[in-house]
Chains A and B, each alone.
Chain A
Amino acid sequence: MRNLIAKLALAAAVLGGGLGTAAAETANIWVRADGSNFMPRIVDAYNKAHTNQVKLDIIPNAEIIPKYGAAAAGGTAPDALSLDLIYTPSFAAAGQLEDITDWAKSLPYFASLSPAHVKTGTYKDHIYGLPFSADASVLIWNKKLFKQAGLDPEKGPANWAEIAADAEKVNALGGNIKGFYFSGNCGGCNIFTFTPLIWASGGDILSEDGSKATLDSPQLRGAIDLYRSMVKKDLVPAGAQTDTGANFFAAFAAGNIGISPSGAFAIGALNTQYPDIDYGVTFLPGKDSGWSSFAGGDNFVVTKGTTKLPVVKEFLDFAYSLEGQTILAKYGSLPVRGDIAKDALKDLDPRYQIAAEAMAKGKTPYSVVFNDLINSANGPWTQMINEVFFGDDVDGAIANAQETMQSIIDQAPQK
């Protein structure tokens, strides 16, 4: 029934568009709060230059998925949304998204769009999502505190031992100053910043196609020991244990944390909101050498059956222009078009180059049950990281998480 109504509405819109004059249309677009810095600016720029308009709603990170699902069920979904890229497979599998394969492939710059995004935006060889914003995980350190602690402020840690040693030296400054920070009760934060430590050392937590959980590895064990040892030495503020992500960025921005794994978004946010903090950006290192990164960000997806497809396409095309990519880069996202990334970044903070490089070689897990496995505050991943970083029974926690994750994967609807 709803489908029928949607089709009728579509038919009416097509007829209306064919007969009437090209009246300005307004498309409704949602973005999660992570995009609240760049999204309003790019929408403003688009609205100023076009007759068609975009109306933007910013939704809290944790609410956007259930809210969109409820809106879609009630027929009030936005025309498009900027969706955390890891959700694209499950949304596409649910039949919620418009197939934009033909349009995507007709774009002259299609081949240079971020590969990690396009991979997660593809479901059964059809394209349902295209890159919008990009964020790579990196390690940031506070240069002022490094200098005070007698460390070289221009050289960030390049392996696990250096992370622990540098954090300990900064921590020794005492007072409010702590060596290291991470959000110890936030699954999303840690898939973003903790798993690259494992990847860089040659391990992984999921098999390539997402059909097997592979938590029982020496690389995961080693990375856990790194965090545990820092917790044990009191290098991490007590609040980390219960931080569900609220302080993921804020803790470092307060200026009394030596080292923190973070994302490229932090560069834009620190530069615009905390210009006093002097910080460096480096890769998330492997145990002895090497590095890796989580290629994150948002895919732009279109709600199935929307009548505003032309507006949505026009907006996305604008976002992919040099002007659009420059606005994105200036306000906290990495460019998603490889061929003009250098131009978009050229007048900006050179630290973006590190993040852009991390993005280009970044990795993104692929799973249709990512939310249940990883991001859910009550899912196995979140529970495990909290237990292994702060609890007593590391082996039990890993075994338990491995079993729960595998059973969630096995019970997922096979489509």
Chain B
Amino acid sequence: MSPEYSDQTKKKVEEVISHYPKKEAALLPVLHLTQREFGKISKEEEALVADFLNIKPIQVREAVTFYSMIHQKEMGKYHIQVCRNLSCTLMGAGTLIDYLKDKLNIEPGETTPDHKFSLSTVECLGACEQAPCMMVNFDYYGHLDKKKIDQILDDLE
């Protein structure tokens, strides 16, 4: 079945669109709203967005595949993004990524079978002073070590 926005999201989408001189200019904020509602932007959501913005689905796909914050597949309940850029790597991010891979038994880019965790490696979260660091959904965790990771994951429902 093709997805439809909830009344609340639909209202927000329409409002965002009204802020721009051209409908298609609202593509990125609409994608964020859409992802918040459906958890992903797959073919069906692309069609929905394209329809609202009066553009072709291919134009939505171009943006979706360009931006790493837009997901084509649904992420787990908790999306863990570990920085692997310079500062974090110097502070031992590599070991932590391996530790997370073993602990969750998945590779970066994968989701656990129970859909609880997704693991990604990212380039620089802009928090080098807390290196090594990671994000779980929209929360930052810095000065990480294995013990701290165990504790963070244990605290998540």
The answer to whether A and B come from one shared complex is no
Q: Which residues of B contact A (CB under 8 A)?
A: none
Q: Which residues of A contact B (CB under 8 A)?
A: none
